[in-house]
Amino acid sequence: MSGKIKAITFDLWDTVFIDDSDEPKRQSRGLESKALARRTLVHQYLHQHDAVSKGAVTLAYNVSDAAFREVWYGQSVTWSVQERLQVLLKGLKRKLPKAEMDELVKLHEEMELEISPELAPGIVDAIKALSKDYKLGVISDAIFSPGRVLREILKKYDLLQYFSSFVFSDEVDCSKPDPRVFEIAAKELGVELNEIVHIGDREKKDIEGPHQVGAKAIYTTVVLNRGDDTKAEAHCSDYSELKKIVDQL
């Protein structure tokens, strides 16, 4: 095992995509924010069967979101939209017919496909340059948009073609920093774990995660600087420098 870098895996949110950069687009079209739109959808679907207040739906949604975050961070599990809505409905002691539940889930899942987030500045050129010398993969937690939708967003920006491995939390039943996500990526990319460098913006998930399996990590602040005292092998604040940073590793 040489440890020479042969493959690069990317986080998506606030690494490749700018999280919530779709919100100004929604506002310009006179649409509610995603958070409000999700709560409105649940209220509409429930209210047509039996009266329920918007306040009760909002409270149940907030509780469901808090439970999701606890499981996501504490147990490295990312609940699907279906699971999140089931928790919400259970709290309200309500049910929906299967067809309506399926439709409600789909509307949640595809909200960011209809109006998509912007790309991080310089990421397209960086991915193109890296793809010439390295195998590329994606390791991303799916919060509302599942893997099938995230692939479509990458395709929308003509970036899907550059990746040969996709590890999405909703498809592998675990999320970063669980070692399994990096092990799956290594297997799909045909490399050893110590031949991977992972790029991301969260210290616990994107830096500590790869480190615990012997992979390297690059901490990116191109989109958002979380102020973490990083233990990554390198730091990138400008994607025009990313190829050089990886080459030096």
CATH topology of domain 7-21+116-248: Rossmann fold (3.40.50)
Q: Which amino acid is at 74?
A: G
Do the Cβ atoms of 239 and 121 come closer than 8 Å? yes
Asked if 34 and 22 count as a contact pair (C-beta separation under 8 A), the reply is yes
Task: Quick: pLDDT tens for 23-82.
Answer: 999 999 999 999 999 999 999 999 999 999 999 999 999 999 999 999 998 898 899 999
* Helices 81-92 and 54-75, axial angle in degrees (round to 10): 130
The domain segmentation of the chain, as residue ranges, is: 7-21+116-248, 25-114
Euclidean distance between the first and the last CA atom of the chain, given in angstroms as a whole number: 15
pTM for the full predicted model? 0.92
Q: Which amino acid is located at 186 in the chain?
A: A
Residue type, 181: V
How many residues belong to the chain? 249
Per-residue model confidence as pLDDT tens digits over 211-248: 999 999 999 999 999 887 899 999 999 999 999 999 99
Coil, strand, or helix at residue 139? strand
